[in-house]
Amino acid sequence: MQFSSAPDPNKDHYYRLVPDSDPSSIKQSDPIKEEKYEESPQKREATDESQEDRTTPQGVAVNNRRMVRFNNYALAAAILASTNSILLGYDIGVMSGAVLYIQDNLKITSTQVEVLVGSLNVCSLIGSLASGKTSDCIGRRYTIVISAITFLIGALLMGLAPSFLFLMAGRVVAGIGVGYSLMIAPVYTSEISPAMSRGFLSSLPEVFINFGILLGYISNYALSGLPENINWRLMLGLAALPAIVVALGVMAMPESPHWLVMKGRLAEAKQVLIKISDTEEEAELRLVEMTKDVSNSGSAASESVWKELLFKPSRPLRRILIAAIGVNFFMQASGNDAVVYYSPEVFRDAGISSKKQLVGVTVIMGIAKTSFVLVSALFLDHFGRRPLLLLGSSGMAVSLALLGFGSKYLEQSNSNPTWAIVLCVVAVCADVSFFSIGLGPVTWVYSSEIFPTKYRAQGSSLAISVNRLVSGIVSMTFLSISNAISFGGMFFAFAGIMALGTLFFYLFLPETKGKSLEEIGVLFEDKVHDHRRRRPVDV
């Protein structure tokens, strides 16, 4: 499918392929319609919960309990944007196996392994902090291109590295590209997605991250038989190929309509909206909501955005920051990245000694991780964010506790019983699977959809910077702390963190399923406000 922001004179200027959102519900929730504010909050909530079947302007009944169907143009654009996330996933997956051969070939210590592995996450802070301003200045689409090109350079440097320092230089450059990718892909997909399918489309970056991790594991397994001075270089250097494809493919995507409205390019925004909406009427309604939102929040180019976010946020904006930063913090404090990076070390400690077997077990883990993130993405708009997040985080707490128990038993046993080894393998697979059900996809969806337009790019970059910082700290200290308190002790600590995370999600993260980006601000209003008009306060 070819993308273009310009209208085709030979076509109707919009795709009426399948119902992907409910224009009548958008009209009903239009913030500039006075009728909406005449309803009490209780009546409105009851109506939202009880309304199962709705009717579009074309008279087509839409059952909210059925699987959401998608506008093909929006789906294709979201897929193209999300393919950038393959690069991050591939790097995470391939490094877990490549480091086994790098350690032997370059004769590096376990501390250098931690620095090598964690440096990508720490350096991604640069990209994630810069991506907000960059995407507001040059647009979401070109920021994705910058991300792919930066990662391409990093992959080539790592693949050709003759020494540890050269390899570290490649990791630093690749880390900057990762920071850009983690912020911009979810923001872009959330901004082009209709409300009723935004959960699935915004979770595609996590789907592709997991697909990339699986490709990295497969690459490890396929290339492990080559000489040690060649195999890890090929494993890391192969990431350059998808980076080239992503950089070229993204150029065919349309620009985000929210960004175009922010820049005052309303005609171009409308043409994009016509293509990613089910009807032209729906596109016009979405354009009105975006224009109203941008008008209320002010110019995103204002230098006061960071000042408002960091030093004097309004109470609703403070709640949004707490929710976004909190979910990103717990995503990485769960230890998921460390489990993925160091799973061969964990399995070796459990009694699996062959490198080929270690890499093979990680492939099984990758298959489980990818399968469950696909299931979660498909049902995210059906069940909502909160149920899947709470299920995933509580499941991780139990899985990590079982992994801690199995590891502790093996530490104190001289015989390495088979049941304990199997328990550890199953617990690791369960942990990454529950992560893929909840925190994995929901973090990116939630972070990208709860900020108002003015703050979305830079607010998301701030939240993802916390994500990267915590990930870097966990990755760079995992082996050292595990040596001090054992793997079992480390996994018990992660289990406790996830129990706290589950409580945090229950208390601070409201449900956003089915709401437009402009409506979500209402969820974070002050508790004492004008219920009749239900206007966001200061946001």
Nearest to 342 by CA among 368, 367, 361, 369: 361
Domain assignment present for 18: no
205, 82 Cβ separation under 8 angstroms? yes
Domain assignment present for 210: yes
Domain assignment present for 22: no
Give the list of residues 6+ apart from residue 442 with CB closer than 8 angstroms, or none. 203, 327, 376, 380, 385, 388, 389, 392
Please check whether residues 325 and 209 belong to one and the same domain.
no
Please check whether residues 243 and 337 belong to one and the same domain.
no
Q: What is the CATH number of the domain that holds 384?
A: 1.20.1250.20
Q: State how far the alpha carbon of 350 is from the alpha carbons of 94, 120, 203, 364, 486, in Å.
A: 21, 27, 33, 16, 12
Please check whether residues 231 and 357 belong to one and the same domain.
no
Domain assignment present for 276: no
Domain assignment present for 317: yes
Please check whether residues 382 and 514 belong to one and the same domain.
yes
β-sheet bridge partners, residue 61: 55
Q: What is the pLDDT, as a whole number, of residue 337? A: 80
496 three-class SS = helix
Please check whether residues 310 and 222 belong to one and the same domain.
no
**Greatest distance between any 2 Cα atoms in the chain:** 76
β-sheet bridge partners, residue 54: 62
Distance CA(472)–CA(332), nearest Å, equals 9
> What tokens were used for 519?
């409506």
Domain assignment present for 179: yes
Distance CA(449)–CA(203), nearest Å, equals 11
Please check whether residues 175 and 309 belong to one and the same domain.
no
Element at 55 (helix H, strand E): strand 53-55
Element at 62 (helix H, strand E): strand 61-63
450, 512 Cβ separation under 8 angstroms? yes
Q: How many domains does the chain have?
A: 2
Range of the domain at 491: 298-525
Instruction: Encode 494-523: b = buried (16+ Cβ within 10 Å), e = exposed.
Output: bbebbbebbebbeeebeebbbbbbbbbbbb
Q: What is the pLDDT, as a whole number, of residue 437? A: 92
Distance CA(30)–CA(36), nearest Å, equals 8
53 three-class SS = strand
Distance of CA 333 to the CA centre of its chain: 15
Picking from 235, 253, 271, the residue at the C-terminal end of a domain is 253
Distance CA(370)–CA(375), nearest Å, equals 9
Picking from 200, 227, 253, the residue at the C-terminal end of a domain is 253
Nearest to 442 by CA among 373, 500, 497, 498: 373
Q: What is the pLDDT, as a whole number, of residue 1? A: 46
Q: What is the mean pLDDT of each run of 10 residues along the chain (539 residues)?
A: 44 38 40 39 42 38 47 82 80 82 85 84 82 86 88 89 89 87 82 79 82 85 83 86 79 85 88 86 86 67 70 87 94 86 75 72 81 85 89 95 90 82 88 91 85 82 87 86 89 95 93 79 62 41
376, 441 Cβ separation under 8 angstroms? yes
| Start-to-end C-alpha separation, the chain | 38
Please check whether residues 181 and 309 belong to one and the same domain.
no
Please check whether residues 340 and 480 belong to one and the same domain.
yes
Q: What is the pLDDT, as a whole number, of residue 194? A: 78
Q: What is the pLDDT, as a whole number, of residue 526? A: 59
Q: Where are the alpha helices (DSSP H) in 107-163?
A: 110-138, 140-159
Nearest to 363 by CA among 320, 311, 405, 425: 425
Domain assignment present for 35: no
Q: State how far the alpha carbon of 457 is from the alpha carbons of 247, 296, 452, in Å.
A: 21, 17, 9
Burial of 1 (0-12, 13-18, 19+ CB in 10 A): exposed
Q: What is the pLDDT, as a whole number, of residue 533? A: 42
Q: What is the pLDDT, as a whole number, of residue 69? A: 59
Please check whether residues 199 and 320 belong to one and the same domain.
no
Please check whether residues 519 and 427 belong to one and the same domain.
yes
Which pTM value belongs to this model?
A: 0.66
Domain assignment present for 223: yes
Picking from 232, 253, 274, the residue at the C-terminal end of a domain is 253
- The Cβ of residue 532 has, within 10 Å, a number of other Cβ atoms equal to 11
Q: What is the pLDDT, as a whole number, of residue 25? A: 40
113, 164 Cβ separation under 8 angstroms? no
Nearest to 180 by CA among 116, 246, 245: 246
Please check whether residues 404 and 305 belong to one and the same domain.
yes
What is the DSSP code (8-state) at residue 54?
Answer: E
Please check whether residues 238 and 303 belong to one and the same domain.
no
51 three-class SS = coil
Sign for the pseudo-dihedral over CA of 195, 529, 324, 298: positive
61 three-class SS = strand
